[in-house]
Amino acid sequence: MAQAAAGHHEMEDKCFRLVSGHTIPAVGLGTWRAGYQAADAVLSAILEAGYRHVDTAAEYEVQESVGQGLQAAMQAGIDRKDLFITSKLWCFDLSPERVRPALMKTLGELQLDYLDLYLIHWPFRLREGASRPPKPGDVLEFDMEGVWKEMEKLVKDKLVRDIGVSNYTVKKLNTLLGFAEIMPSVCQMEMHPGWSNDKMLQCCKSNRIHVTVSDRHGGFPVRSDCLLFCLSL
């Protein structure tokens, strides 16, 4: 019991500082493929395992359930300021006029007033209703600068504390850095023993961008599909 309690406190206390000055917990709960179990998974992870970072996305189609779990945790005594909630802007919404409405929908589903971190999920825009994999004509022009400017406005309006990217290449990240007024705080990317992603890691390190990676193969008791790990660069 003492060991479990010690692990609980370590989970709560271990954080890294972002370029914005905010902190991000070292380990987070992913909700990809969590399905109908998302609410219970989130609540158990927060109350029983000490998680404070929960990562979700519009594309996962679980945000309402995640929101129920978050609300239950807060009703049990967890302060919102002690949680770190990440969501992501999906490819259908990668046009400047759709950024804010997409965020507001996410906030409504999560029952939150703000996000701690909002990421561009993938760096390409898709036609709504695009097939998988996309067919010719499904991939549309992506106004990366226009979208990022709208993301920056969300920070200025205090709807989002930090913004960042996911699944980017070095080339596309460097393009974004060329016009960004607010630096991306986080880059979430694939990284594991079979794919070290060294060039992307070095690019992030050189630009003080924090890296999070997912482990979709690590089983753990809350039945979610993914653990997130933050790297100390």
- Tell me the catalytic residues: 60
**DSSP 8-class letter at 14:** -
Convert 112-144 to b/e letters by CB count within 10 Å (16 or more is b): bebbbbbbbbbbbbbeeebeeeeeeebebebeb
Distance (Å, rounded) from C-alpha 166 to C-alpha 33? 18
What number of CA atoms fall less than 13 Å from residue 194's CA on the CB side?
3
Comparing CA positions, the residue from 19, 103, 91 lying closest to residue 63 is 103
Residues near 22 by beta carbon (within 8 Å), at least 6 away in sequence:
116, 161, 162, 185
Comparing CA positions, the residue from 87, 48, 47 lying closest to residue 67 is 87
Distance (Å, rounded) from C-alpha 89 to C-alpha 165? 9
Q: What does the angle CA 190 – CA 191 – CA 196 come to, to the nearest 5 degrees? A: 130
